[in-house]
Structure 1
Amino acid sequence: MNRPLHPSDHLLFFKSWLAKPFETAAIAPSSRRLAEAMTAQIEPRSRVLELGPGTGVFTRALVERGVAERDLVLVERNPVFARLLADRFPDALILTRDAAALPAEAGACDAAVSGLPLLSMPVPQVTRILKGAFRTLKPDGPLWQFTYGPRCPVPQPLLRRLGLRACHTRFVLLNLPPASVYRIERVG
């Protein structure tokens, strides 16, 4: 069984942010309410790709929804977070790498959740991340993305170019800072 999050996760997250603010892009892990909003529409028997799981807040919410650890593919670039995830979710497939270089071993996934700070990334990097995620996702598989910004973190021209659309699904006031959740999916 995986271990619960600890208050020390906030310190670990803050230290990671201090070391690489544009890579971590938040001073604290996402709230439980944001995790619930990000995972609410994912079916329990799904295989799920998670991009940038950090300390595992969304991962824990997925497991609590009934997603089996063995059906989780966690892509975490930060080796400190990756080791923590391996300890907490030993049956998950953990890939310590940049999400822009998503490998084939991720397999076919039913859904994806992303904690990546897309707003702080250059468009070519966001393009590689989205292309890789949607190569991994089944044809009807959505990607759930949150943002602290006022609109979808993927620019509309890029969505059109990749044959994707985004729909705002929730605003989570009780998160630091407040966040919006988007469902990104293939058009047609």
Structure 2
Amino acid sequence: MRKEDNVKSEKALFFRNFIKNPTRNASVIPSSKAATKAILKGIDFDQVDVIVELGPGSGVFTKEIIAQAKSGTKIVVIELEASYLDILERKFGDRIILENTSAHLLQDVLQKHGLEKVDLIVSGLPFLKGEIKEKVDQTIMNFTEKGTIYRFFTYMPPIMKKVYKEMPIEKKNMEPWNMPPFWVYGIN
């Protein structure tokens, strides 16, 4: 299959997954290259040994994370939607540790792989609700209190600010050329 065909089929899969379950797929199409740069801007990858990506979808952020990470960096990728697993495996192979599970089980995944410290968490997760949101937020807070950098994006800052009012997040960036435009928030 040609690269162009792969890209088209990934976009089609992304769209189908959004239509099938919009609360589980954060967007209608994968993020742009400009957006991937925006979410990682300002991170000193020379100081990063363990990275966790939550909800990578088809791996747009993953590709840029791998490009910027130094050799030997452990990259743990947690994706709940099984239809993305083959794409992630095909694209990144043994460069990532791929787990098909929920983000709220992050601590279990890290223990499974003997990882205690996380330097960077990048989230492509949609807005979560209820008990799962509380568990994911608490897990992220536990890590950020120990110095982990956290980055995530939103298409709707006013809603996000209300949803995450308990977390000490701050605006890091804005990417107007992504479709739709998005804002990057995080905790350092």
**TM range, smaller chain:** 0.7 to 0.9
Runs of 4+ in 1 over 6 A off after TM superposition: none
SS in 1 for 2:169: strand
Percent identity between matched residues is 24
- Aligned positions of 1:1-188 closer than 5 A: 6-45=7-46, 46=48, 47-68=50-71, 71-91=74-94, 92-106=96-110, 107=115, 108-118=117-127, 121-136=128-143, 139-151=146-158, 153=160, 155-159=163-167, 165-185=168-188
The alpha-carbon distance between structure 1 residues 6 and 70, as it changes in their structure 2 partners (threshold 3 A), is farther
Taking the aligned partners of 1:138 and 1:167, their CA distance within structure 2 comes to: 15
Taking the aligned partners of 1:152 and 1:40, their CA distance within structure 2 comes to: 23
* RMSD after superposition: 2.3
Taking the aligned partners of 1:69 and 1:56, their CA distance within structure 2 comes to: 19
Taking the aligned partners of 1:88 and 1:69, their CA distance within structure 2 comes to: 18
Residue 59 of structure 1: how far off its partner (Å): 0.6
Taking the aligned partners of 1:69 and 1:52, their CA distance within structure 2 comes to: 22
Q: Is the 8 A contact 2:51 2:73 kept in 1?
A: no
For these two proteins, the number of residue pairs brought into alignment is 176
Q: Is the 8 A contact 2:149 2:186 kept in 1?
A: yes
Question: Which runs of no fewer than 5 residues in structure 1 stay unpaired?
Answer: 160-164
Q: Deviations over 1:36-56 (max 9, x none)?
A: 011122333421110000000
| Bigger fraction of residues in helix | 2
Taking the aligned partners of 2:38 and 2:59, their CA distance within structure 1 comes to: 15
TM-score w.r.t. the length of structure 2 is 0.83
TM-score w.r.t. the length of structure 1 is 0.83
Q: Is the 8 A contact 1:70 1:93 kept in 2?
A: no
The alpha-carbon distance between structure 1 residues 179 and 97, as it changes in their structure 2 partners (threshold 3 A), is same
Question: Which runs of no fewer than 5 residues in structure 2 stay unpaired?
Answer: none
